[in-house]
């Protein structure tokens, strides 16, 4: 989802055809988009030759992971992120595979431009630090200059505290000077691109995400998404859980509260033994928000036909993607073999001006997916986390019972059993502090003493105003509590976060209806935005509801939430406009994909799975 206090900014250059005031606004936009996408660090930066900048006339200054493979090694390396089949270079080829032969693609020039755009963001996110400004000629993708605030960088490297806002103020001043410099040298203002490096902040974002990274990867793979999904938090908020946008989007994944509530993520207050109340904001715990965010992304990707525009829809909104498709219909690149991924690649390259003029799909939207890819490349050569650094159990108490935090923690404080409270608790002095670190969504007060303050001794119940009260303890803690005689925990509501969490469904869980839904999404990828396909969707949605009612497994509930998001988008007026445009654009054109056929190919629902009256 977008961060409105950044989202209107663009770093795609300045418009020479505008009046001076508009030019200044665009220059401001150029800076601020660089502030929008959040992004990673490279530890080693080549030193500059004397002076603050270096002018480059041909190749990019830093070697790009897009074009360089891993360094050879005599030893057998541990599996790294780039080796996984879910990496976009494999899963989303050829869009993220610069080595793929362009001649074999449907639109080789569009694909080349898309690869060039990715290369810019790889440098921006994974190589250029927060003291760097990169100036590019849009016409040739030539790097005109790589400027650095060497004085601030030197101070930072020597241990001086840094305020990134202050650094950005300096970069803004220098950017304005650099744009004027190259405009005077004859580069059209429209073709001057300015990118601000964000590698320091991306490195920090990845460190914040260390405890949750394995769960993000596993859930993405479980849902059939690429690893690009694991960088949503980096691009949205640098994985900061407390940020709230001006539109009210919350959590590191920036979701609106009403969407979170649909996913069971809520706010409430807990009573304490001191007659005070403690605020609970579940959006501040990544373990509680991860699944709703990724299920929403999967639903968006299905609704728009492919993960690439699906990721963009997560940020820019599905309506903008539907508008983007309508614009693609009028381009010379739309053919019977075109896919929605082709339309997205066109929209962020050759067709960007057309799309921008007809929607709110601006520079920040253009850079969203490339920024996620750039951030991911900073981790490409790092070993895959085989075991999550944070392992815990999510708990509720049984209906009709209650237990205080003091009673919960007392047995854990005295047990001889070793309990791992996770990385965030490494510096905690007391069990109470460790509980606070493991449950950032519960606004417990700090304790100056080595005891639980009365204002923090919350009383846990099953629900408050119909909202589930959930908290986390280390693996093994429930056994300790049961051994101590505490019987208030609700075993069916328990959910473990460990090495087996988010494993894929077993073959027996996948029904014919799931396979038919997959086939429908495949057809949508070929611009299958038709009323016949919507009828297929509605029938499948009804069957998914019945399946979830009869077999309420986690897999079935997830599938229902995904198709429900898809259904909601396809019942909207922007989708209807797209369907009408699809009918006009295709005409007699036969699109690739399966022909929509409901009555003769979809078996009837077995009696045991029919909706109850």
Of 34, 31, 142, 61, nearest to 374 (Cα)?
34
Is residue 310 a contact partner of residue 316, using CB atoms and an 8 Å limit?
Answer: no
pLDDT at 35 over 70: no
Q: Provide mean pLDDT across the span 28-39.
A: 39
In this structure, of 11-15, 508-512, 534-538, the range with the lowest mean pLDDT score is: 11-15
Q: Is the preceding peptide bond at 110 cis, omega within 30 degrees of 0?
A: no
Is residue 513 a contact partner of residue 547, using CB atoms and an 8 Å limit?
Answer: yes
pLDDT digits (tens, 9 = 90+) for 240-289: 999 999 889 999 999 999 999 999 999 999 999 888 999 999 999 999 99
* Segment holding 260, helix H or strand E: helix 257-262
* Segment holding 193, helix H or strand E: strand 192-196
| pLDDT band, very low/low/confident/very high, at 220 (cuts 50, 70, 90) | very high
Q: Say how far apart CA 600 and CA 153 lie, in whole Å.
A: 68
pLDDT digits (tens, 9 = 90+) for 585-598: 988 565 544 444 43
pLDDT of residue 3: 35
Of 108, 81, 340, nearest to 217 (Cα)?
81
Burial readout 280-314 (b: 16 or more C-beta within 10 A, e: otherwise): bbbbbbbbbbbbbbbbbbbbbbbbbbbbbbbbbbb
Supply 31's token pair.
């800076």
Q: Say how far apart CA 452 and CA 470 lie, in whole Å.
A: 19
Is residue 284 a contact partner of residue 440, using CB atoms and an 8 Å limit?
Answer: yes
pLDDT digits (tens, 9 = 90+) for 530-540: 999 999 999 99
Is residue 601 a contact partner of residue 523, using CB atoms and an 8 Å limit?
Answer: no
pLDDT of residue 227: 98
Q: Are strands 132-137 and 402-404 parallel, antiparallel or unpaired?
A: unpaired
In this structure, of 138-152, 412-426, 577-591, the range with the lowest mean pLDDT score is: 577-591
Q: What is the 3-state secondary structure (H, E, C) of 530-547?
A: CHHHHHHHHHHHHHHHHH
Taking each helix axis from N to C terminus, what angle separates 405-414 and 431-438, rounded to the nearest 10 degrees?
120
Residue 591's region, left for phi above 0, alpha for psi from -120 to 50, else beta, is beta
At 78, is the secondary structure helix, strand, or coil? coil
Of 453, 509, 97, nearest to 276 (Cα)?
453
Q: Residue 430's Cα: distance from chain center in Å?
A: 34
pLDDT at 58 over 80: no
Q: Say how far apart CA 47 and CA 50 lie, in whole Å.
A: 9
pTM: 0.85
Q: Say how far apart CA 444 and CA 421 lie, in whole Å.
A: 17
Residue 495 has φ and ψ, to the nearest 5°, of -135, 125
Residue 445's region, left for phi above 0, alpha for psi from -120 to 50, else beta, is beta
């Amino acid at each position: 989802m977008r961060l409105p206090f950044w989202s209107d900014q663009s770093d795609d250059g300045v418009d020479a055809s505008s009046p001076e005031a508009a030019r200044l606004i665009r220059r401001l936009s150029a800076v601020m988009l660089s502030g929008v996408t959040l992004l990673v660090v490279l530890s080693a930066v080549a030193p500059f030759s004397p002076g603050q900048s270096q002018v480059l006339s041909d190749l990019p200054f830093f070697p790009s992971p897009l074009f360089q493979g891993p360094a050879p090694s005599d030893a057998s390396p541990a599996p790294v992120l780039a080796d996984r089949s879910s990496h976009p270079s494999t899963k989303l080829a050829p869009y993220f595979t610069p080595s793929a032969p362009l001649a074999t693609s449907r639109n080789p020039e569009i694909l080349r431009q898309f690869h060039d755009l990715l290369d810019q963001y790889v440098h921006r996110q994974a190589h250029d630090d927060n003291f760097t400004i990169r100036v590019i000629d849009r016409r040739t993708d030539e790097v005109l200059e790589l400027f650095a605030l060497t004085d601030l960088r030197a101070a930072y490297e020597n241990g001086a505290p840094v305020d990134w806002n202050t650094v950005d103020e300096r970069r803004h001043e220098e950017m304005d000077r650099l744009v004027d410099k190259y405009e005077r040298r004859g580069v059209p203002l429209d073709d001057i691109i300015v990118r601000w490096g964000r590698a320091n902040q991306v490195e920090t974002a990845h460190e914040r995400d260390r405890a949750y990274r394995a769960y993000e990867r596993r859930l993405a793979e479980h849902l059939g998404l690429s690893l690009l999904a694991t960088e949503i938090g980096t691009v949205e908020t640098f994985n900061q859980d407390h940020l709230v946008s001006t539109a009210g989007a919350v959590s590191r994944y920036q979701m609106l509260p009403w969407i979170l509530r649909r996913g069971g993520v809520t706010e409430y207050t807990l009573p304490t033994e001191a007659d005070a109340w403690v605020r609970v904001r579940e959006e501040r715990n990544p373990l509680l928000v991860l699944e709703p965010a990724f299920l929403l992304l999967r639903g968006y990707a299905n609704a728009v036909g492919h993960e690439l525009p699906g990721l963009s829809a997560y940020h820019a909104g599905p309506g903008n993607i539907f508008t983007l498709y309508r614009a693609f219909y009028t381009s010379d690149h739309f053919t019977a073999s075109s896919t929605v991924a082709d339309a997205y690649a066109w929209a962020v390259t050759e067709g960007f001006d057309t799309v921008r003029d007809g929607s709110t799909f601006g520079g920040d939207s253009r850079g969203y997916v490339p920024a996620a890819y750039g951030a991911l490349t900073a981790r490409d050569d790092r070993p895959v986390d085989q075991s999550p650094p944070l392992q815990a159990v999510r708990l509720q108490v049984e209906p009709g019972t209650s237990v205080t935090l003091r009673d919960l923690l007392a047995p854990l404080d005295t047990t001889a059993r070793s309990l791992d409270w996770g990385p965030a608790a490494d510096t905690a002095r007391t069990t109470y502090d460790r509980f606070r670190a493991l449950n950032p969504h519960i606004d417990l007060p700090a304790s100056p003493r080595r005891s639980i303050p009365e204002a923090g001794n919350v009383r846990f119940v099953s629900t408050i105003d119909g909202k589930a009260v959930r908290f986390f303890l280390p693996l093994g803690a429930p056994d300790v509590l049961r051994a101590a005689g505490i019987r208030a925990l609700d075993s069916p509501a328990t959910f473990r976060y460990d090495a087996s969490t988010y494993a894929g469904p077993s073959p027996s869980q996948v029904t014919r209806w799931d396979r038919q839904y997959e086939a429908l999404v495949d057809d949508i990828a070929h611009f299958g935005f038709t009323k016949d396909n919507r009828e297929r969707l509605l029938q499948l949605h009804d069957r998914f509801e019945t399946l979830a009612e009869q077999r309420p497994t986690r897999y079935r509930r997830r599938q229902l939430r995904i198709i429900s998001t898809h259904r909601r988008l396809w019942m909207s007026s922007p989708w209807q406009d797209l369907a009408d445009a699809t009918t006009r654009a295709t005409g007699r054109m036969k699109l690739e994909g399966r022909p929509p056929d409901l009555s003769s190919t979809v078996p009837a629902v077995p009696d045991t799975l029919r909706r109850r009256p």
